[in-house]
Amino acid sequence: METIELADGGRLLYEEVFLEPELADRYFVELRDHCLWEQKPALFGHMQPRLTASYGDAGITYRYSGTVNVALPWTATMLEIKHRIEAVCGQYNYCLMNRYRSGSDSMGLHADDEPEMGNVIGSLSLGATRTFRIRHNFSKETRKFPAGHGTLIIMAGTMQQFWKHDIPKTTQAVGERINLTFREIKKTEIK
């Protein structure tokens, strides 16, 4: 695991081959075929350019950019993956999954900086290699990391406060990619 210290206290842990390919294959097929994938509406009448699914502890709901994501109960595979990542760093009660069907699916530049969100986010990639890009909010310093089949990226420190990240579209012919972001959503008072 490589630790990359970023400007203003951001920290990124990176391991390109965290899972051996055979295990990554098994997880990819299992998650692709058995998770409840849906395409959710985005802003201005558009749809999100990817599919998502949401798993976690009972009672966890994650809201961002106008979407409401009620966690389905963890599956055995999801728990197995969660424990592998927790053995490296973090404690998680929720996982947002994104499925990029082709190079025209993407994730826009954003930070996962909701007040109820823990600062450690564990991100596992499966399937086609895409570029995970980060950009500093003020200096605009940009760095790119290949997120391939079995790559683990952990975002920590103040990364969500000072940096944004995205998965740009690509015109290259790429297959499907699944990404799992494990998070800690702190329970808030019900108003």
- Evaluate whether 147 touches 15 at the Cβ level (below 8 Å): no
107 touches ligand AKG (CB under 6 A): yes
E strands in the chain? 2-5, 10-15, 51-56, 61-64, 67-70, 72-73, 94-100, 107-110, 121-127, 130-136, 142-147, 152-157, 163-167, 177-183
In the complex, the smallest distance separating the C-beta of residue 191 from ligand AKG, rounded to whole angstroms, is 25
123 touches ligand AKG (CB under 6 A): yes
Return the structure tokens found at 56: 């976690």
In the complex, the smallest distance separating the C-beta of residue 64 from Fe ion, rounded to whole angstroms, is 9
Binding mask 90-119 for Fe ion (x = CB under 5 A): ----------------------x-------
Query: By CB under 6 A, what part of segment 6-35 binds ligand AKG?
Result: none
Nearest-5° Cα angle at 31, 28 to 32: 80
Q: Can you give the binding site for ligand AKG, defined by CB under 6 A?
A: 96, 98, 107, 112, 123, 125, 132, 147, 165, 167, 179, 181
Footprint on this chain of Fe ion (rule: CB under 5 A): 112
